[in-house]
Amino acid sequence: MSNPSLLILPGDGIGPEVMAEVRKIIDWFGARRGVTFDVSEDLVGGCAYDAHGTPLADATMAKAQEVDAVLLGAVGGPKYDNLDFSLKPERGLLRLRKEMDLYANLRPAQCFDALADFSSLKKDVVAGLDIMIVRELTSGVYFGEPRGIFEEGNERVGINTQRYTESEIDRVARSAFELAMRRNKKLCSMEKANVMESGVLWREVVTEVGKDYPEVELSHMYADAGAMQLTRWPKQFDVIVTDNLFGDLLSDLAAMLTGSLGMLPSASLGAPMENGRPKALYEPVHGSAPDIAGQGKANPIACILSFAMALRYSFDMGDDATRVEQAVEKVLADGLRTADLLGEEGRAPVSTSEMGDAIVAALDASL
């Protein structure tokens, strides 16, 4: 049986720094767990433009289609602001998502006890929070036609079209139900069926798919009410599935419940490949942070947790994913903080590499 394959795309800014810490975790699995990954590395974003004149070379795209999972750091920076839209670093990431057809975006919102005070909500509301938002990623109002700014009479009109087919709703709903089966068998679907026909169809299709998952408790909620409930008592939810637009809004809202948007991972999953694993791209939610690049200030935890998601969803290594997550929790409980989390009074923040080393040491202690 071949080793699991992983394409690493560090990208720009702090991407290479945080990815170097993921490399330590990968090496640890080979040395201490006997799990070897076939790792290749390539360019995406601004660095790819600098080398090839494009934010994603065709050869890199071909590699991404062949491997079991892609792990991306971050793309972009002010150096590339004046490039043509088609050449901007972010177009490399968008091409990966589009051509790999990564239609299900998984955004966890998990609040580590040691960081519960970082949330703007009361500690008892967010402590122990562990929810997952599944956002449809390749359709909806961001992609629907017609779209654009047009002349209509003596004024301009901006048009975007919310459009979903049954099959597009069906496949992201099944991803959410499968995820719910792995967790607490509880799924809430959010839309605006009270005012949008696409929401009516969304609710009908999700309800129909739910018949194939009788063990999952399915509920429906209008997305605006869902936003209210997320801030009132978020722990009532486990898995939430929603469309592209509402998922964009709700996942950022849920992320900030944890107090730190920059510490959170994400996964974008597509259809199963021949080996049964979904096409997958894993990336931290944070950006490239060019203002601190090369200074050892970046927090590698989001990227490390993105690798943990790859262990769980691409490599069927759920126990090892939990081991990595618990190692992160341990170092935070011990008081280690990178600069973005502000060191405790009287204690200096640790560097990017020191945080990575501490997580590796916690993994050692877990054996």
- 287 annotated to bind ligand: yes
In a domain, 41, yes or no: yes
Which of these, 192, 186, 341, lies nearest to 263 by C-alpha position? 341
- Give how far the C-alpha of residue 85 lies from the chain's centroid of Cα atoms, to the nearest Å: 24
Is the pLDDT at 217 greater than 60, yes or no? yes
The secondary structure of 191-232 as a DSSP string is: E-TTT-HHHHHHHHHHHHHHTT-TTSEEEEEEHHHHHHHHHH
Q: What is the DSSP string of 105-155?
A: EEEEEE--GGGGGGSSS-HHHHTT-EEEEEEE-SSGGGTEEEEEEEEETTE
Residue tagged active-site, from 238, 248, 279, 282 = 248
User: Active-site residue 282, yes or no?
Assistant: no
Active-site annotation holds for 164: no
Residue 263: what pLDDT? 86
The reply, when asked if residue 292 is annotated as ligand binding, is yes
Question: Among residues 130, 224, 340, 357, which one is catalytic?
Answer: 224
State the residue range of the domain holding 231.
130-257
- Cis upstream peptide for 284 (omega within 30°): no
Query: Has residue 119 been placed in a domain?
Result: no
Same domain, 171 and 236: yes
Query: 257, 283, 310: which is the final residue of a domain?
Result: 257
Whether 125 is in a domain gets the answer no
pLDDT of residue 360: 98
- Same domain assignment for residues 220 and 202: yes
343 belongs to an annotated ligand binding site: no
For residues 218 and 273, state if they share a domain.
no
Residues 141 and 249 reside in one and the same domain: yes
Mean pLDDT, residues 304-317: 96
Catalytic residue, from 27, 142, 185, 357: name it: 142
Identify the pLDDT of residue 353.
Answer: 98
27 is catalytic: no
300 is in an annotated binding site: no
| Catalytic status, residue 334 | no
Q: Are residues 90 and 201 in the same domain?
A: no
Region 134-159: what's the mean pLDDT?
Answer: 95
Of 257, 291, 320, which marks where a domain is finished?
257
Give the chain's domain count.
Answer: 2
Nearest 5°: the CA angle 331, 336, 341 is 115
Q: How far apart are CA 63 and CA 44, in angstroms?
A: 12
Model pLDDT for residues 42-97, shown as the tens digit of each residue: 999 999 999 999 999 999 999 999 999 999 999 999 999 999 989 999 999 989 99
Q: Which of 205, 230, 257 is the last residue of a domain?
A: 257
Containing H/E element for 50? helix 46-52
pLDDT, position 256: 83
Would you say residue 14 lies in a domain?
yes
pTM of the model: 0.91
321 and 285 in a common domain? yes
Q: Confirm whether 239 is domain-assigned.
A: yes
102 and 55 assigned to the same domain: yes
Whether residues 141 and 98 share a domain: the answer is no
Q: pLDDT tier at 2 (50, 70, 90 boundaries)?
A: confident
Looking at the structure, do residues 300 and 319 belong to the same domain, yes or no? yes
147 marked as part of a ligand binding site: no
Whether 218 maps to a domain, the answer reads: yes
299 annotated as a binding-site residue: yes
Q: Write out pLDDT tens, residues 161-174.
A: 999 999 999 999 99
State yes or no: pLDDT of 343 exceeds 80: no
pLDDT for residue 121: 87
In a domain, 117, yes or no: no
Same domain, 100 and 181: no
Same domain (yes/no): 200, 142: yes
**How much is the average pLDDT of 288-303?**
95
Residue 1 has a pLDDT of: 65
pLDDT at 275: 79
CATH number at residue 281: 3.40.718.10
Active site residue 192: yes
Query: Is 311 known as a binding-site position?
Result: no
Do 101 and 9 reside in the same domain of the chain? Answer: yes
85 marked ligand binding residue:
yes
What are the phi and psi torsion angles at 152 (to 5°)?
-140, 105
Tell me, yes or no, whether 42 lies in a domain: yes
